[in-house]
Amino acid sequence: MTTPELLNLVGRIGVAFYFLWSVQFNIAARGHHYAEFQRIGLGGPGKLLFAAGIAISFLGSLLLLYTPTAWIGAALLIVFTFASDALFHRYWTYEDPGEVVMHKFFLVEHIALAGGILGLAAGTL
C-alpha cells in the first residue's frame, strides 16, 4: 500500500466513523428527530424518513470503507447530508439568533464535509 492509499484509507475510516457514530447517536435521540419532522410539517412520514436516513448513513459508511465501492458510499453520504440540511438546517426559518448561527454553522460545515468526502472518493477511482 502506498502512502497516498494509506492516507486515503485513514481519511475514509475517519469519515465512516463519524457517520457510524451519528447513526447510534441519532437512534438514541430519535424522539427529538420525530419532533423536528413534526415541526417542519412532515410528522406523518417522519418515522419512515428517519429510518431511511439511518439506513443510508449506515450503508454509505460501510461502502465508503471498501475501496471498490467507496465512490458509491461517498455519494450516499453526500446525498444524505444535503437532504438533512435541506430539511433541518434552513437557518433563515429560525427566529432565535442563536439558532440561526448554529444552523448556518452546520450548513457550511456540511458543505466542507461533502467536499472532503468527494476528495476521498476521487482517491479511490
Q: For the chain, what percent of residues have pLDDT higher than 90?
A: 90
- Tell me what the mean pLDDT of segment 26-46 comes to: 94
Task: Give the DSSP per-residue string, 55-102.
Answer: HHHHHHHHHHHSGGGHHHHHHHHHHHHHHHHHHH--GGG--SHHHHHH
Concatenated DSSP letters of 18-55 = HHHHHHHHHHHTHHHHHHHHHHTT-TTTHHHHHHHHHH
Instruction: Name the pTM for this structure.
Output: 0.91
pLDDT at 94 over 90: no
pLDDT at 38 over 90: yes
Helical axes 3-28 vs 70-88, angle rounded to 10°: 40
Domain segments of the chain as ranges: 3-122
Dihedral pair phi/psi, residue 83, rounded to 5°: -65, -45
Mean pLDDT on 62-66: 98
- What is the pLDDT at residue 24? 98
Q: Which residue has the higher pLDDT, 78 or 95?
A: 78
Sign, CA dihedral 18-22-25-29, equals positive
